[in-house]
A and B are shown apart, each in its own frame.
Chain A
Amino acid sequence: MKWNIPSLKDLERYYWRCTACGTCRTAYNYGPPPVAKPICPAGTEFGFEGFYSSKGKAAFARGLAAGVLTFDDPEFLEAVYKCTVCAGCQHQCQVDFKPYIPEVIEAMRREAVNAGAGPMPLQKNLIQSMKNYNNPYQGPRRVRTDWTRPFKKAKKPIKDINKEHAPILFYVGCTGAFNTAARAVPTATASIFQKLGLDFGILGENEVCCGSTAMRVGDAEEFKRVASANLETFKKLHEERGVNRIITSCAGCYRAIKKDYVLATDYNEMMEGIEVIHTAAFIHRLLKDKELAFSKELPWRITYHDPCHTGRHLNTFIVDKDGSQLWEGAYVDMDESDCLYDEPREVLQAIPGVELVEMERIRGNSYCCGGGGGVMTGFGEWAKKNASLRIQEGMETGADKMVSICPFCHYNLNEGAKSIGSDIRLVDLVEMVDQALGG
């Protein structure tokens, strides 16, 4: 399978478009009332320009291209990895660099990997684990289905799609399967599907990591290996098991399949007849179609955290590719219609008893949970600290729970809450939906 993954050189003309204006540092909304808050977790923590937002990343890219900066310098290498690739900076920028910002950050990491320097030592374990176990958590294959045991016990086994037909593949993702704290996510998802009487199956022990983390830390080869395997599996499941919809509750998997897999030259052919949808959007659709109704009241005051991967990472940037509208390579506009901003909120508000109170930084301006881009693995303590900042923001709303739609956020934000002794807990939307469905 061929992949169009750009090199730093391919992106040169875009990072040269950064004007160094620093607008990318602030989550800004004119309002009124105006909102202006920090947006960059790296800048917030490390402070120096360079760490700060896409202005800093453009500086690094230029320094690399000019040969002034090299990956022989371990401090520089680390600086390139001290970014959650949350795309918060990208959301603010308005120039032609905008559509390519996370790509430039990751392309620098790919350079680092190619130079034999990257990723960070702990991230190297993650990549090795992918190679050995097809997941980043050094989890043995059979552990992947541990979360399904209660279903077996309750005589409600989940279909093994390797053996049986089903129109829906529930793509579980490694974090939900292996991270014990985040297992509530797949459990609740499967429970909802069963309550709704959906015909779905899982790949179980044969599920292979989506490759998102490998891509985020710059190991394109490892990403390509798993992504190619997955695309082939999806095609096969479509042909042989009748799968026409892949549902995932993981923001990382969703982003990878929607945005990274399209870099495969034959993506369209491989995915023909298959819809990829996040559970939150799927539930929202059922709700709108009146195929789902909540029977139980949840008297909770909640605030919603937009994961980067179901939010601004799904922005579509309209770029004038051939120069017919503005000029070649011009950033024309941003289309947010693929971002899951409204869907989870509407689902939450449909649950009886729920009161939604918003934080100041939401939607495209949402502050990252702090664990993305390999940071949770590479710099665990910093990831926790980031998360605690978001938790504090949540606490300021007076909410007793924070809701998200990403097992990464689930784990990291709960770690952040614990680290500052906050009572607030992160629950996933699917957990709430499962409870509100009763039964």
Chain B
Amino acid sequence: MHYMFDEEHVDQGVLKELRSIVGEKNATAAKHVRFAYSYDMSFVQPKMPDYVVMAQTVEEIQGILRLANKEKIPVIPFTAGTNIGGLCIPERGGILLDLKRMNKIIDIDTESHYAVIEPGVSHGQLAEALYKHKLRFGWPVGPPSASVASCAISHGIGGLNARYGLNSQEITSMEVVLPTGELVRVGSCAIQENAWHSVLPMPQLDGLFKGWLGSTGVVTKLGIGVHPIPPVLKVFTVSCSTVEDMYSYMLNLSNYEICDDLTAVSWWLAQVPIPYPYRPKPDGAPEWFSFANTNSFTEKEKEARVEIWETVVEEETKKGTSIKVTQYPEEALRARTQLPSQIVGSTKNYCKMAGAGISWPGTFTPAKKWAPVYNRWKEILINANLSPSVRMSMYRGVHYGMLRAMIPFNKQNPDDVENARRAIVDCLKADLDEGGLPYKPPVDFAEQINQRAHPGYLMLLKRVKSMLDPNDIMNPGKLGI
């Protein structure tokens, strides 16, 4: 990794004002602190913020944004920085707004099944609190310390996606500070202070703050739907030798909508850790494994799911596909069923072997395009001596699918980083060409998206952005516009 830091822009006057807003101890321009925010695990080139500020109240955030807007200083919202896309790396310096201390769980409505949280609430923290009421949320396979809100507003994915859709689809209401400092609300809480149950049937203004990578405002409170924990877990695992066969099985099973999570991983991703550099799959080993997590309230309900699953397997076998009922590697299964997970969260299976770097082409790709894209990815990645460690998941029945390669690389060696970056961007291009779309995209990806975008879309995007953020201070550059 190279550290090529631009000359510094620290203005003592600005620092003083920031300190007057958040208190002496909560704003700094100390180099060692800024340095610690200059990089993440991705291939994105490190860059330093000029100030780091830790806010704890909505009023403080309003004060910071008013100041930043007046002075035209960029503001980058940050909670844990684990997004895998360099999304919190400041493209143009500015104020790194660390929100991890805004970590209050404001409400858990155990009757209406929603929770209201501040942005710094972590998955681990919420899991602990919800479990006391036997409630759950769609925990990602990411670090327990990462923020629930950041994940949800970034269209993050979790363990209940086959059933309920993306984590952003769980959002019920929002409170946001605009780049100009005004406080706004969207969803039911906009009409009644303490009603956080739904964004519908109103105009969906929550869309102004979802998927924007922190470039339209700072979310200060978020309502999310939570769900009961059905006590009976049954995981169905199969393996097969081709991506086409796996797709066929998943499509079939998905049509019954019985799973919380329906995922398949290539042999390389099923390994803990992913092999680095590329290692051929041993002869005879299946190329694909799938786990289908189901949760039932009663044994009888589980039996009904078993019956459906058995029918699907039988049908797929009859079709002559290579689907076989199998055991999924134990540690890998634990990592994906016991969420939030320390095993994956701590990047053990993703990049332990490579050395500190991970990036992805993480995309939503129509499931019917998985097979051609995967086959293309395999070529690109193996050519770059990287493992085709790919995951495919069905979301909300068969409505859309996730296709992602988790690519580890050695971050200590700049050539290895560049090799991975190039291969990953090539994979992304191949996917975009088939109609896929990356989520949480690094700037390299955003540029690719924009190149293909309808002019009307880009025009609208820019217009909305400049309406909300006239001075382009919020996480500037991240959307590639």
Interface residues, chain A, with chain B CB atoms under 8 Å away: 13, 16-26, 28, 30-37, 46-51, 55-56, 59-60, 62-63, 66, 68-69, 73, 75-76, 79, 92-96, 326-327, 330-331
> Contact between B144 and A96 (Cβ–Cβ < 8 Å)?
no
Partner of A47, one of B39, B54, B340: B54
> Contact between B352 and A63 (Cβ–Cβ < 8 Å)?
no
> Contact between A36 and B144 (Cβ–Cβ < 8 Å)?
yes
Q: Closest approach, in angstroms, between the C-beta of A422 and any C-beta of chain B?
A: 24
Interface check B30, CB cutoff 8 A: yes
With a CB–CB cut-off of 8 A, which chain A residues contact B30? 73, 75-76, 79
The 5 closest A-B pairs by CB, nearest first: A36-B124, A50-B36, A94-B346, A23-B346, A94-B348
Interface check B438, CB cutoff 8 A: no
With a CB–CB cut-off of 8 A, which chain A residues contact B37? 49-50
Q: Closest approach, in angstroms, between the C-beta of A321 and any C-beta of chain B?
A: 16
Partner of B98, one of A18, A25, A47, A69: A47
> Contact between B124 and A22 (Cβ–Cβ < 8 Å)?
no
Partner of B131, one of A16, A34, A60, A93: A34
Number of A-B residue pairs at CB separation under 8 A: 160
Interface residues, chain B, with chain A CB atoms under 8 Å away: 1, 3, 5, 25-26, 28, 30-33, 35-37, 39-41, 52, 54, 80-82, 98, 100-101, 122-125, 127-128, 131-132, 142-146, 338-343, 345-348, 350-353, 355-358, 411-412
Partner of B82, one of A21, A34, A60: A21
- Complex CA gap A151/B81 in Å reads 59
- Complex CA gap A47/B144 in Å reads 17
Q: Closest approach, in angstroms, between the C-beta of A278 and any C-beta of chain B?
A: 29
Partner of B33, one of A48, A94, A96: A48
Which has the most chain B C-beta neighbours within 10 Å: A94, A96, A326?
Answer: A94
Q: Can you sample 24 A-B contacts with CB below 8 Å?
A: A16-B355, A17-B355, A21-B82, A21-B347, A25-B80, A28-B124, A28-B144, A30-B338, A30-B342, A31-B131, A34-B124, A47-B26, A47-B100, A49-B98, A68-B3, A68-B35, A73-B30, A76-B31, A79-B33, A94-B343, A94-B352, A95-B346, A95-B348, A326-B353
- Complex CA gap A50/B32 in Å reads 7
> Contact between B40 and A20 (Cβ–Cβ < 8 Å)?
yes
A43's closest neighbor in chain B, by CB? B100
B338's closest neighbor in chain A, by CB? A30
Q: Closest approach, in angstroms, between the C-beta of A28 and any C-beta of chain B?
A: 5
With a CB–CB cut-off of 8 A, which chain B residues contact A20? 39-41, 81-82, 356
> Contact between A73 and B81 (Cβ–Cβ < 8 Å)?
no
With a CB–CB cut-off of 8 A, which chain B residues contact A19? 41, 346-347, 350-351, 356-358
B80's closest neighbor in chain A, by CB? A22
Q: Closest approach, in angstroms, between the C-beta of B270 and any C-beta of chain A?
A: 17
- Complex CA gap A192/B142 in Å reads 50
> Contact between B347 and A95 (Cβ–Cβ < 8 Å)?
yes
> Contact between B54 and A327 (Cβ–Cβ < 8 Å)?
no
- Complex CA gap A48/B36 in Å reads 9
With a CB–CB cut-off of 8 A, which chain B residues contact A62? 1
Q: Closest approach, in angstroms, between the C-beta of B343 and any C-beta of chain A?
A: 6
> Contact between B81 and A49 (Cβ–Cβ < 8 Å)?
yes
- Complex CA gap A28/B1 in Å reads 30
With a CB–CB cut-off of 8 A, which chain A residues contact B411? 16
> Contact between B40 and A23 (Cβ–Cβ < 8 Å)?
no
- Complex CA gap A32/B342 in Å reads 14
With a CB–CB cut-off of 8 A, which chain B residues contact A32? 131
A63's closest neighbor in chain B, by CB? B35
- Using known A-B contacts A31-B131, A92-B346, determine if residue A50 contacts B35 with beta carbons closer than 8 Å: yes
> Contact between A36 and B128 (Cβ–Cβ < 8 Å)?
yes
- Complex CA gap A26/B80 in Å reads 12
- Complex CA gap A24/B345 in Å reads 10
Besides the known contacts A23-B342, A50-B32, 18 further A-B residue pairs in the complex with CB atoms under 8 A apart: A16-B355, A19-B346, A22-B81, A22-B82, A23-B145, A28-B145, A31-B131, A34-B124, A48-B33, A49-B36, A49-B37, A51-B33, A60-B35, A63-B3, A69-B31, A79-B30, A94-B347, A94-B348
A327's closest neighbor in chain B, by CB? B353
- Complex CA gap A95/B36 in Å reads 19
- Using known A-B contacts A28-B342, A68-B3, determine if residue A16 contacts B412 with beta carbons closer than 8 Å: yes
- Complex CA gap A261/B355 in Å reads 31
A66's closest neighbor in chain B, by CB? B3
- Using known A-B contacts A68-B35, A69-B31, determine if residue A21 contacts B54 with beta carbons closer than 8 Å: no
With a CB–CB cut-off of 8 A, which chain B residues contact A34? 124, 127-128, 131, 340
- Complex CA gap A34/B54 in Å reads 28
> Contact between A73 and B144 (Cβ–Cβ < 8 Å)?
no
Partner of B125, one of A16, A36, A50, A55: A36
With a CB–CB cut-off of 8 A, which chain B residues contact A68? 3, 5, 31, 35
- Complex CA gap A24/B124 in Å reads 12
> Contact between A26 and B144 (Cβ–Cβ < 8 Å)?
yes
Q: Closest approach, in angstroms, between the C-beta of A106 and any C-beta of chain B?
A: 18
Q: Closest approach, in angstroms, between the C-beta of A105 and any C-beta of chain B?
A: 14
With a CB–CB cut-off of 8 A, which chain A residues contact B142? 21
> Contact between A48 and B348 (Cβ–Cβ < 8 Å)?
no
A47's closest neighbor in chain B, by CB? B54
